[in-house]
Amino acid sequence: MENVIARDVAPAAPGPARLSEKPSLIGLSREDMAAALREKGVAERQVKMRVSQLWNWLYVRGVSDFDAMTNVAKDMREMLKTHFTIARPEIVEEQVSNDGTRKWLLRYPARGAGRPVEVETVYIPEEGRGTLCISSQVGCSLTCSFCHTGTQRLVRNLTAEEILSQLLLARDRLGDFPDRDVPVGAMVPSSDRKITNIVMMGMGEPLYNFENVKQALLIASDGDGLSLSKRRITLSTSGVVPEIFRTGEEIGCMLAISLHAVRDELRDMLVPINKKYPLKELIDACRKYPGLSNARRITFEYVMLKDVNDSLEDAKALVQLLKGVPAKINLIPFNPWPGTNYQCSDWAQIEKFADFVNQAGYASPIRTPRGRDILAACGQLKSESERMRKTERLAFEAMMIVGHGEDD
């Protein structure tokens, strides 16, 4: 997909045992957590109670240190510390924009024979809501021609723990757990929660990492823990058709489609997965999305590329393509990156396009820049040497992130 950076990192120098050598309790289902405790000798009669305690500490209280679990016996805490971890990923860099947008560069330990990797997570505060953009893979196997991220290789899938830990760390840093203070000077939404919505729109194609994404999102929406409404969780896909119905049936979240073209020959070039799952199959899958209604619309992302996909004929074809599908269309001005052959559509043309789509009955907001004063990306991050100007990168990222999910 189109968003954030992920890099291989040189292996850490030899030293004390790394956190990755211990399995994490974060991201485990209750059943898997129970099995892990049994394996370490917790009596069967205690397992259910211990799982309930741990779930509350991890996902309601948001602790990242076993010693903070004050109602857990000391010998149990020592056993947990010996065998497991609940630590957050390392923050390599944290940046805060004047408008409250935040970006964290996070480092995950090596997995097996691999290297440590880094990904970025971005937070966008708006009036009444705060949206967190989460990654699902390190790198990307898709080669969307307008997306800089698509020019780097897929390194690996993120685990359920690594996906979920992006949310936990962001809530830590925003003071979004009980008894935590909001950072001084932080701009946060006028709501009970700082993070009200999450979008799976970071690096990677979520539906190529379905099981880990599913596990993480089911924990994020669990009513006895993080308790995010599924109407406030949006998964964005470039069109992995076989997994779209499963997403609605097994996860139950909102759906966004990276569309970007309304003719197969053009979409084959812009979003090459279209060669495998062409538009007819994709739109048919959208029509069958479980729970689809005017109250639960699908969002279609459409990056505006000058003289490529921005004509009024394209707008008419878009309306025809989506006929009968409860939908919202996000129009995103393209942010050029070094080496790209694409340009952003003229603003007047974007407005004409939006007006036509609006008049046809579809909401088609034009995403405007946010967070211009710090660095982030949407489909443009590849390496330190190729980073674009700070004033442009987070702006494009934010245009993709905002406005997803419901406000219920």
**Residues near 134 by Cβ (< 8 Å), separated by ≥ 6?**
121, 163, 166, 167, 198, 199, 200, 201, 202
Task: Supply angle C-alpha 26, 29, 32, rounded to 5.
Answer: 95
Fill in the amino acid letter for 163. Answer: I
* Residues 328, 190: Cα–Cα separation, whole Å: 25
Report in angstroms the alpha-carbon separations of 103 from 4, 122, 125, 144, 148: 10, 5, 12, 24, 19
Report in angstroms the alpha-carbon separations of 89 from 86, 142, 280: 10, 26, 41
* Residues 9, 201: Cα–Cα separation, whole Å: 23
* Residues 257, 283: Cα–Cα separation, whole Å: 10
Active site residues: 120, 378
Burial of 75 (0-12, 13-18, 19+ CB in 10 A): exposed
